[in-house]
Amino acid sequence: ESIVGKIAAGEVVERPASVVKELIENSIDAGASSISVYIKKSGIAEIKVIDDGEGIGREDVLLAFQRHATSKIKDEKDLVRISSLGFRGEALYSIAQVSKIKITTQHRAENIGTEAYFVAGKLKWQKPAITEGTTIEVSDLFFNTPVRRKFLRSPYTEKANIIEVVQNYCLAFPEISFSLFIDEEEILNLPESETNYERICQIFGLETAETLKIKAISEGDYKVEIFWGEGLKGRYKVFVNRRYVREQSIVNSIYKAFQLQQPQFIIFITLPPQDVDFNVHPAKTMVRFANPQKIHNLIFKVAEQKHISTSS
Ligand code: ADP
Ligand code: MG
């Protein structure tokens, strides 16, 4: 049981940044409009995520920590057109297996909430609490899997990974306000914004953002928006239906279509949920398209569009 648990955890929880990713996804799925992340010692000592989402009902709190417990799939059809970020019901269970977790949550429709504490997946105590939304505090990550802890990178690298993960959700969900503190230092503090461009300004600074070129196209239910230029030199990010993905074929198309010599772009692709499958790997950064050629063609078409002015 606990070995099975640790193996499952190994797939979902590779490093502190994967915990941050899963907790943020749950907050987004809960409809949060504000998400705050607090990190101590590159995530090993503590990862705390606070949201103002719908919360978890008193009856469901313990269930959420069980394997394959998800409230997000009601029937088989949901599997096909899933639009929430999580749907495997593995994250909380897996994180709990390799850490100590305190959850404080209250469902919007209830007038009392719950606080509960788990060590290595085992419930230690539980009591009523009054709160809003959900706060999850993961501490002592990998305390019971010393080998995994040993294989972590330097604190510097782990921190960089966490910042990258948070940044990716900031970009994918501009309407949500995000903050990130690492060892009490404010890394990000972004109010909600209305457009991708505004969010890019918040993250990279107006000076950088103003140097970027923007193009967009939409064809039926398919939409592509791309930002590129020197200011993003050395980085590229691909978002498909608001998920950050690694998809080399898209990257290659962009290089060709935009005649780029080096990575310097952020692209947002939107398409009907039934035309894309994220369920390729538990980490969900891989993607399969029903019609890859259509995406490829759109990237070439968007490259031929006129630039959008940012001064509006
Ligand atoms: P999944 O996201 O795949 O459903 P998780 O293990 O990540 O599985 O979470 C299990 C369940 O716990 C979710 O389906 C959801 O009902 C509940 N949950 C987890 N985090 C939150 C949160 N921040 N706010 C509200 N509900 C949450
Ligand atoms: Mg989840």
Could you tell me the sign of the dihedral formed by the alpha carbons of 279, 299, 238, 187, in that order?
negative
CATH code at position 264: 3.30.230.10
Q: Are residues 27 and 160 in the same domain?
A: yes
- Output the ligand 1 site: residues, CB below 6 A: 22, 26-27, 29-30, 51, 53-56, 64, 69-72, 86-93, 134
62 assigned to some structural domain: yes
From ligand 2's centre to the CA of 175, what distance in Å?
20
From the alpha carbon of 27, which atom of ligand 1 is closest? Answer: 23
ipTM of the complex: 0.99
The pLDDT value recorded for residue 77 is 58
The pLDDT value recorded for residue 201 is 95
**What total number of domains does the chain contain?**
2
**Which residue has the CA at smallest separation from atom 12 of ligand 1?**
64
Starting from the CA of residue 65, give the closest ligand.
1
The structure's pTM equals 0.92
From ligand 2's centre to the CA of 209, what distance in Å?
32
From the alpha carbon of 53, which atom of ligand 1 is closest? Answer: 24
Name the domain boundary from 190, 222, 247: 190
Q: What is the rounded distance in angstroms from the CA atom of residue 244 to the CA atom of residue 49? A: 20
CATH code at position 152: 3.30.565.10
Reported confidence tier of residue 153, pLDDT bands at 50, 70, 90: confident
Q: Are residues 82 and 126 in the same domain?
A: yes
Which token pair is 273? 């949920």
Q: Residue 239 is part of which domain span?
A: 205-303
Q: Are residues 148 and 236 in the same domain?
A: no
Burial class (CB in 10 A: 0-12, 13-18, 19+), 103: buried
Reported confidence tier of residue 1, pLDDT bands at 50, 70, 90: very low
Q: Are residues 173 and 234 in the same domain?
A: no
196 assigned to some structural domain: no
pLDDT average, residue stretch 259-263: 90
The pLDDT value recorded for residue 286 is 82
The pLDDT value recorded for residue 282 is 60
pLDDT average, residue stretch 125-150: 95
Q: Are residues 103 and 227 in the same domain?
A: no
Alpha helices in the chain (DSSP H): 2-12, 16-29, 76-80, 91-97, 146-150, 155-172, 196-204, 206-210, 248-257, 292-303
The pLDDT value recorded for residue 150 is 86
169 assigned to some structural domain: yes
Q: Are residues 120 and 229 in the same domain?
A: no
Q: Are residues 178 and 80 in the same domain?
A: yes
Q: Per DSSP, what are the bridge partners of residue 126? A: 116
From the alpha carbon of 85, which atom of ligand 1 is closest? Answer: 2
More confident residue, 79 or 184: 184
Give the rounded percent of residues in the chain with a pLDDT score beyond 90.
Answer: 74
The mean of the pLDDT values for the chain is 90
More confident residue, 28 or 82: 28
What single-letter DSSP state applies at residue 220?
A: T
